[in-house]
């Protein structure tokens, strides 16, 4: 585990809350302090940290890898930050995109004519972790004359039955 300022600060907050709660049970300061020191790691790792992970939208960022893209489709959103920031897809051909990303999953809809366009390829990126998240991340790659001219990510509402 990497010890950071945020970890130490949150650990101190959990300790203070535990000490204040345990202090209400009895008046002995030393026993309250000792019990708080013993209980704080348990409260932190079994209550505070899991709740923090459920309600925060933090996710790890990974570099794009064609094998991982195909093998772990539910974690594709972790690779997108790098692709968006470095514009690595701009200028690539349809053949190269199909080699790296696989066969397109669905065609995009042209905004003006409202018809499916062979120049708008869409891929599912999966769901970002977090509580109450029902929006699926998607990637749209736009081509012009067989060359990528733009990419965008968007969210699509997903109904769970």
Average pLDDT of the residues of the chain = 83
pLDDT score at 59: 61
Q: Where are the domains of the chain?
A: 5-55, 66-157
Find, among 100, 98, 93, 87, the residue nearest to 147 by Cα: 93
Token pair, residue 89, equals: 């897809």
Please state, in angstroms and rounded to a whole number, the distance separating the CA atoms of residues 120 and 115.
11
Query: Residue 93 has what DSSP assignment?
Result: B
Fold exhibited by the domain 66-157: Beta-lactamase Inhibitory Protein; Chain:B, domain 1 (3.30.1450)
Q: How confident is the model at residue 161 (pLDDT cuts 50, 70, 90)?
A: low
Q: Per-residue pLDDT for 27 more than 90? A: no
- DSSP per residue, 103-137: S-SEEEE-TTT-SEEEEEEEEEEE---STT--EEE
For residue 34, count other CB atoms closer than 10 A to its CB. Answer: 12
pTM of the entire predicted model: 0.63
Residue range 74-131, pLDDT digits in tens:
778 788 777 776 677 889 999 998 888 888 888 887 766 667 878 888 888 888 776 6
């Amino acid at each position: 585990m990497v010890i950071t300022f945020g970890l130490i600060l949150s650990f101190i907050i959990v300790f203070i809350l535990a000490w204040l709660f345990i202090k209400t049970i009895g008046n002995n300061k030393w026993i309250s302090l000792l019990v708080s020191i013993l209980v704080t790691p348990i409260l932190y790792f079994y209550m505070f940290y899991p709740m923090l992970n459920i309600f925060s939208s933090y996710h790890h960022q990974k570099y794009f890898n064609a094998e991982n893209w195909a093998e772990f489709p539910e974690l594709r959103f972790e690779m997108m930050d790098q692709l968006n920031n470095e514009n690595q897809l701009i200028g690539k051909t349809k053949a190269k995109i199909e080699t790296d990303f696989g066969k397109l999953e669905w065609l995009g809809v042209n905004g003006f004519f409202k018809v499916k366009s062979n120049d708008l390829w869409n891929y599912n990126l999966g769901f970002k972790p977090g509580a109450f998240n029902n929006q699926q991340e998607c990637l749209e790659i736009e081509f012009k004359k067989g060359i990528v001219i733009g990419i965008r990510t968007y969210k699509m509402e997903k109904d769970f039955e």
